[in-house]
């Protein structure tokens, strides 16, 4: 067995000459399992027995052995990348493997199964070496947009004058745990604010570029009939305010974004949002409405890297993003802002793609869309009983469905490799089960997700 992390080998007492053995200071035994709807490592013995993805606490500089027993029959491995410790793959119930390494640096590190999809399915935990240091509070801004921030429906009101105030900012925001990015935003959120008006409204847009900004910014509303969707008259230098007024002529759900060259760079950095132009009489009432947008980040560092991530022009031009996300960050809709609903409620999702490059195949795992307003046309008859709907970059859709069964429903782009780069969210539905719709003798944890 290999001792990783630069530790010397140890010879057990009485071992034959030339035999390389070791004496670990601390040993953990884990078992692979399915729990709470996830693939997990389960503590198998000692103080961690029965714990899902337990914290493994070890003294500084200890020689650590982690044994793993295959409890579900699937193929797995285990690794602690920070200490260059990685097992071979093993498969079949009852098979096992182990890694041994010296924990020669203090801190909190990750152990995981490295097979594609297994970390996303839940197979990861923490190795804590030495005395855990008090976590330093990050001063990075939380730029993740709240999906419930959808404004008030227009109802039956007539046309009126509406003012939209947007500020363009360049801020260091939290991308994922331990990583940040310099986002360019509208109103310090990605996507920008959800704007809600009705057809026939006269809308004034005031765009202010923060004085601390380093770049010129603008805004192009796809709902605007006029030069550049407003971008031709809103190219604002740092500290400037530019304004224009337009009449909302077409009902629909429309994207807006910065349109200052290089436009794709401004969009990928976070400068996109949506405006809903409701038809006369408003939309039909539903129980819950959510605002969700898909975006891409192109960074020099690989997905999962720690620290400040830097923009890569080369990857942008190659259309090869390192990160994909809903509402700005890796955990915006899976940690910070889970979508909540109750059995029997009617759900409406306003979904758009900021892009700037990739088409989305929007899908909610475990649900069927009752109605899909293709390309966000609110005056066309909706499609019914749809599993997955295509949305182009700079495009949108509106989907509606009733939730009938409690549980966690995962929002994805059905180009499912993108889940590995962060693109997922959770709709958590509570309420009474209905065995006539869904039944299993297997236990179901309704708090489970992915």
**Burial of 435 per CB tally in 10 Å (0-12, 13-18, 19+):** exposed
Which parts are annotated binding residues? 217, 222, 257-258, 266, 271, 414
Sign of torsion over alpha carbons 125, 129, 133, 139: negative
What tokens appear for 239 in the block?
């500290």
Spatial separation of the C-alpha atoms in residues 118 and 59, rounded to whole Å: 28
Spatial separation of the C-alpha atoms in residues 84 and 15, rounded to whole Å: 27
The residues pairing with 111 across neighbouring beta strands, listed in sequence order, are: 125
Question: Which residue, 190, 199, 192, is CA-closest to 377?
Answer: 199
Q: To which residue do tokens 């604010």 refer?
A: 193
Question: Which residue, 228, 211, 209, is CA-closest to 220?
Answer: 228
Q: Would you give the DSSP letter of residue 302?
A: P
Burial 349-377 (b: 16+ CB within 10 A, else e): bbbbbbbbbbebbbbbeebebbbbbbbbb
Question: Which residue, 270, 412, 235, is CA-closest to 333?
Answer: 412
What tokens appear for 170 in the block?
């360049």
Question: Which residue, 206, 262, 199, is CA-closest to 225?
Answer: 199
Which parts are annotated binding residues for Cu cation? 217, 222, 257-258, 266, 271, 414
**Would you call the peptide bond into 269 cis, given omega within 30 degrees of 0 as the criterion?**
no
Spatial separation of the C-alpha atoms in residues 238 and 217, rounded to whole Å: 8
**Would you call the peptide bond into 301 cis, given omega within 30 degrees of 0 as the criterion?**
no
Which SS3 state, helix, strand or coil, does residue 417 take? helix
């Amino acid at each position: 067995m290999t001792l990783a992390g630069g530790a010397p080998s140890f010879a057990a007492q009485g071992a034959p000459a030339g035999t390389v053995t070791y004496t670990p200071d601390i040993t953990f035994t884990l078992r692979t399992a399915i729990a709470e709807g996830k693939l997990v490592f389960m503590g198998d013995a000692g103080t961690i027995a029965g714990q899902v993805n337990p914290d493994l606490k070890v003294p500084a500089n200890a020689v650590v052995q982690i044994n793993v027993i295959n409890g579900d029959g699937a193929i797995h491995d285990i690794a602690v990348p920070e200490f260059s410790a990685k097992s071979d793959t093993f498969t079949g119930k009852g098979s096992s493997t182990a890694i041994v390494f010296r924990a020669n640096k203090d801190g909190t590190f990750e152990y995981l199964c490295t097979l594609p999809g297994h970390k996303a399915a839940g197979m990861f935990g923490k190795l804590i070496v030495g005395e855990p240091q008090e976590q330093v509070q990050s001063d990075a801004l939380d730029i993740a947009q709240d999906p419930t921030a959808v404004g008030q429906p227009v109802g039956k009101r007539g046309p009126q004058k509406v003012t939209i105030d947007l500020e363009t900012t360049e801020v260091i925001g939290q991308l994922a745990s331990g990583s940040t990015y310099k986002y360019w935003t509208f109103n310090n959120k990605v996507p920008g604010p959800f704007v809600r008006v009705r057809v026939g409204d006269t809308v004034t847009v005031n765009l202010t570029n923060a004085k601390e900004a380093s770049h010129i910014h603008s805004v192009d509303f796809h709902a605007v009939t006029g030069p550049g969707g407003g971008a031709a008259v809103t190219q604002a230098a740092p500290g400037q305010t530019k304004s224009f007024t337009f009449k909302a002529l077409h009902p629909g759900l429309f994207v807006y974004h910065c349109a200052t060259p290089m436009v794709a760079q401004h969009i990928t950095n976070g400068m996109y949002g949506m405006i809903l132009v409701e038809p006369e009489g408003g939309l039909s009432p539903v129980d819950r409405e959510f605002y969700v947008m898909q975006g891409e980040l192109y960074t020099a560092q690989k997905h999962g890297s720690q620290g400040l991530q830097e923009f890569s022009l080369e990857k942008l031009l190659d259309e090869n993003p390192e990160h994909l996300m809903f509402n700005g960050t890796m955990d915006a809709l899976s940690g910070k802002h889970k979508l909540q609903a109750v059995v029997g409620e009617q759900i409406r999702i306003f979904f758009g793609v900021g892009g700037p490059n990739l088409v989305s195949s929007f899908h909610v795992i475990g649900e069927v869309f009752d109605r899909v307003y293709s390309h966000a046309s609110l005056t066309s008859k909706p499609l019914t009983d749809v599993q997955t709907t295509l949305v182009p970059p700079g495009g949108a859709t509106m989907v509606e469905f009733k939730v009938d069964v409690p549980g966690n429903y995962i929002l994805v782009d059905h180009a499912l490799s993108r889940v590995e780069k962060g693109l997922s969210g959770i709709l958590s539905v509570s309420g009474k089960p209905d065995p006539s719709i869904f039944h299993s003798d297997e236990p179901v944890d309704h708090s489970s997700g992915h």
